[in-house]
Amino acid sequence: MSAPDSEAMEAVTDFLRKCNPSADSVDWDCDLIDARILDSLTFVEFLLLMEEFSGGPIDLGTTDVANFRTLNRISAFLTKAGTHEQP
Amino acid sequence: MEDSDFGSMLARLSEKSRNEYYNPYTKFSWPDSVSEDAWWMNPEYLTVHGTGLVEDERTLKALARYETVNFFSLHVHGIRELMIEVAKRIHTPDFADYNEYLHHFIGEENAHMWFFAEFCYRYTGGIYPEAASPLRREGHGDLWDDVVVFSRILIFEEIFDYFNSRMGKDQLIPDILREIHAAHHHDESRHVAFGKQLVKRLHQRACAADPERRDEIEKYIKDYMTYSVRSLYNPQAFRDAGVDKPLEVRRKAMQHPVREAFHVRVMARVDRFFVASGIFGTPWGEGHVSA
Ligand SMILES: [Fe+2]
Ligand SMILES: [Fe+2]
């Protein structure tokens, strides 16, 4: 993993490392579900982290799970949600 | 445990279930209301206990109400999912030895689901919805899935029993709550005794047929323990209790060292069982960095 670019991404990488230590070495384009870093058990908690840092509820009826499959997409999602501008 | 010992344990537990059978629908005398001035849960069992994150007594009392609803809701959703799995297996050849006991299990869990939900609907806005995962549950092959299902049940029951056995004696909480906790504790002591022996046997059977997956299963069961601990911290309960920045407070509470030590205590008995029966190479509590 390259250096996290915000408090949010740091929390994300911390969380993923606890799910699976191999998360430390994954590429930012690596599919986290295929790599078995995120799974059915950890995804529930992961979504809460996304809600906390994006500042609002996430409805999976309207938000595609694909937004959370790679670190790059997670970062893009949080940027779009405005997190990166917040102090 | 030898086959004959296991057989006699099954017979003994089934007989106990028969003798102690009760009508859940008439067992409790439900009061008209449960006072919101009372602690619905002893503050020492709140998820923020020992963290200093929430200090205001009104908020803590509200959290005690909503965390009671969360706790009961977890049983309703958790057991529904697990009852489906048990129902799939009863009267199939692999589970023929356990039919009689599994009937009691399903019947008793059905009763528990009813009284836990009934409390929530009578005195609060009802149960919380389940925190469903959008990802499909991983399969591990039939024999290992049997191990996973009954390990999940055991973990679930041990967590409940940690709280039920204590709250069932707690004079601080309203009578109806104490009675519900005590009734559940009473039934679950049988379930846990059965669950441990069954999980051991299923694990031995799966290891003999497909030893390769052993580590994968150890990781999965440990992840399920972590998942279960997290489920005690329901963000909606924090919101409903009026906690400021509910997601942040929830996350900080969950990661607090005092809480992590508590999680290890809640899990201690089942963790010891998994290690002693060779299902875990190392305890969950040891590698447990943060729930
Ligand atoms: Fe139960
Ligand atoms: Fe049970």
For position A20, which CATH number holds? 1.10.1200.10
SS3 A79: helix
Ligand 1 center–CA A10 separation, angstroms: 39
Q: Which of residues 77-136 of B touch A (CB under 8 A)?
A: 131-136
Residue A9 lies in a domain: no
Find the CB nearest A39 among B135, B247, B289.
B135
Asked if the Cβ–Cβ distance from B135 to A48 is below 8 Å, we say no
Asked if the Cβ–Cβ distance from B223 to A41 is below 8 Å, we say yes
| pLDDT computed for residue A25 by the predictor | 84
Residue A65 lies in a domain: yes
| pLDDT tens-digit series, residues A9-47 | 999 999 999 888 888 888 999 999 999 899 999 999 999
Asked if the Cβ–Cβ distance from A41 to B134 is below 8 Å, we say no
| pLDDT computed for residue B180 by the predictor | 98
Two structure tokens written together for B211: 């030893």
Q: Are B81 and B289 in contact (CB under 8 A)?
A: no
Q: Which of residues 21-80 of A touch B (CB under 8 A)?
A: 33, 38-45, 47-49, 51-52, 60, 65
Asked if the Cβ–Cβ distance from A43 to B230 is below 8 Å, we say no
Max CA distance (Å), chain B: 57
How far, in Å, CA of B60 to CA of B43, rounded?
7
Rg of chain B in Å (alpha carbons):
19
Residue A5 lies in a domain: no
CATH number of B3-20+37-129+147-286: 1.10.620.20
Residues 6+ apart with CB under 8 A from B160: B75, B184, B188
Residue A6 lies in a domain: no
- The low-confidence residues of chain B, meaning pLDDT below 50, are 290-291
Threshold 0.90, pTM exceeds? yes
Residue A1 lies in a domain: no
Rg of chain A in Å (alpha carbons):
12
Residue A2 lies in a domain: no
| pLDDT computed for residue A5 by the predictor | 56
| pLDDT computed for residue A76 by the predictor | 92
Question: Mean pLDDT, chain A, as a whole number?
Answer: 85
Question: Mean pLDDT, chain B, as a whole number?
Answer: 94
| pLDDT computed for residue B138 by the predictor | 84
Ligand nearest to the CA of B74: 1
Two structure tokens written together for B106: 């399903």
Residue A7 lies in a domain: no
Nearest Cα residue in chain A from B247 = A52
How far, in Å, CA of B208 to CA of B31, rounded?
53
With residues binned 3-state (H G I as helix, E B as strand, rest as coil), the percentages for chain A, rounded to 5, are 55, 0, 45
The domain in which residue A47 lies consists of 14-80
Whether the per-residue pLDDT at A70 is higher than 50: the answer is: yes
Considering its fold, how many domains does chain A have in total?
1
Find the CB nearest A52 among B133, B226, B247.
B247
Extents of the domains making up chain B: 3-20+37-129+147-286
Asked if the Cβ–Cβ distance from B223 to A45 is below 8 Å, we say no
How far, in Å, CA of B188 to CA of B243, rounded?
33
